[in-house]
Amino acid sequence: MFKGCKYGFEKTLSRELIEFFKLLPWKGNIRELENVIEKLLVVVPRKEITKEDFLKLERTKKSEINPKQLISDCEKEVLLKLLSSSKSMRDMANKLGVSKATVIRKLKQYNISVHK
């Protein structure tokens, strides 16, 4: 039984989950295990936490959006849209509020070729 003293509730880990935890390579050692258990204590509404609860938590973690990738994707999309609607590189730079050199650097960064 685990007491969620920070959160004021008690829950148990299923035998299957405990055995599964023993098989995993805990890179962060005991702290990583503690963090996982604490998160499970908070997110699982039932009294018993199962292996399925843990696997669901892991799937959710892996599907989280990478902020840097999201910014890159948005930047590239904006560049592509402006490229088709701008008269020149200077016009594109003015619309973005940056220098022409910055526009050229960003186009190279995203491998966007200019055909005008």
Taking CA atoms, 66 is separated from 35, 61, 62, 89, 111, in Å, by 21, 11, 10, 30, 21
Is residue 10 within 8 A of residue 37, CB to CB? The reply is: no
**What residue type is 25 in one-letter code?**
P
In a structure prediction context, what are the per-residue pLDDT tens digits for the chain, which is 116 residues long? Answer: 555 555 556 788 999 999 999 998 888 788 889 888 888 888 888 889 999 999 998 887 766 666 787 688 878 888 888 888 889 999 999 998 999 999 999 999 999 988 75
Q: Is 27 helix (H, G, I), strand (E, B) or coil?
A: coil
- Give the tokens for residue 116: 């005008």
Report the distance separating Cα 56 and Cα 54, nearest Å.
5
Report the distance separating Cα 3 and Cα 31, nearest Å.
17
Angle among Cα 20, 21, 23 to the nearest 5 degrees reads 70
| DSSP single-letter state for residue 30 | H
Q: What is the pLDDT of residue 90?
A: 94
Q: What is the pLDDT of residue 98?
A: 93
